[in-house]
Amino acid sequence: MADLRLPKLPDRTPVKITFSAMPDLFEALNAYADAYEAAYGRRESVPDLIPFMLDRFLASDRSFVTVV
């Protein structure tokens, strides 16, 4: 086998997660989707935005990043 610099790619199979949100969180997520549309001129659904929001949140949490 060749000694490649690029390691084997990780599993990239999406995992579906379902959760219940309190009404105030639901409203805030919809307001964020509205703000996103106003900023970028394109409507994205809340379920499409959530994975990117969570990814950005985890990447910006310095205490968590040092653990992982």
Asked whether 25 and 38 are in contact (CB, 8 A), the reply is no
The model's pLDDT over 20-65, given as tens digits with 9 standing for 90+, comes to 999 999 999 999 999 999 999 999 999 999 999 999 999 999 888 7
3-class DSSP string for 17-52? CCCCCCHHHHHHHHHHHHHHHHHHCCCCCHHHHHHH
pLDDT at 1: 56
Is the pTM for the entire model greater than 0.85? no
Return d(Cα 37, Cα 52) in angstroms, integer: 15
